[in-house]
Amino acid sequence: MNPILAGHEPKRRRGRLQLLLIIAVVLGPMLLAAAMYRFGFWVPESRSYDGVLIANGQDRSAIGVTVTSDAPRWELLVTAPQGCDEQCRQLVYLARQINIGLAREAARAGHALASAEALEADYEQRLRREYPQLQRHSLDAAVYSRNADAPATPQLWIVDPHGNLVLRYDAGADGKAILDDLKYLLKISQIG
């Protein structure tokens, strides 16, 4: 055995081990992340929002809402597929209070009502008098009823400035939680 070649064998073995460690450090996390995504293990069950997330790219037209003038800002949209009953009225009030609760960020958001049926005359007058900034949209009840994400009861939706549905809340939702969700969306948003 040649003594000169024998001294290089441990260095060569150590070099190979270092190369394998470098490859493991680089590829290991990517393989682990791919396996976590594919097989769904170690995925956290908690979430940082309170409503129902609408994460499939639907816009207002997917629930039958027709908008006449599209302002580039966030919107608290109340949908009333069967007329504006007491739950709907509570959500309209809540949407306005949440908009006011945004304080200096209130100009970045608005509130709207989309109803499939005509409102009662006295409630219509009340809306004009007490809710002057409330936007009005038409709602196609047939399209609304075909959407799996749209329950038949009045709902409050957070809509982004591009018109995409983001979160949905039912009539029993906590206004503080909705306000926190909207504040968080406004904080991280680069649009509107």
Q: Could you give the maximum distance between any two Cα atoms of the chain, in Å?
A: 105
pLDDT of 16-67, one tens digit each? 999 999 999 999 999 999 998 888 888 777 777 888 998 888 999 999 998 8
Does one domain contain both 9 and 79? no
37 shares its domain with 62: no
Do residues 9 and 76 share a domain?
Answer: no
**pLDDT tens for each residue of 150-190:** 898 999 999 999 999 999 999 999 999 999 999 999 999 88
Q: Is 81 found in the same domain as 18?
A: no
Residue 86 sits in the same domain as residue 147: yes
- Report the predicted TM-score, pTM, of the whole model to 2 decimal places: 0.76
CA distance 110 to 163: 12
User: The domain containing residue 140 runs over which residues?
Assistant: 52-188
**88 and 139 assigned to the same domain:** yes
Q: How many domains does the chain have?
A: 2
Question: The domain that contains 84 carries what CATH number?
Answer: 3.40.30.10
Same domain, 78 and 134: yes
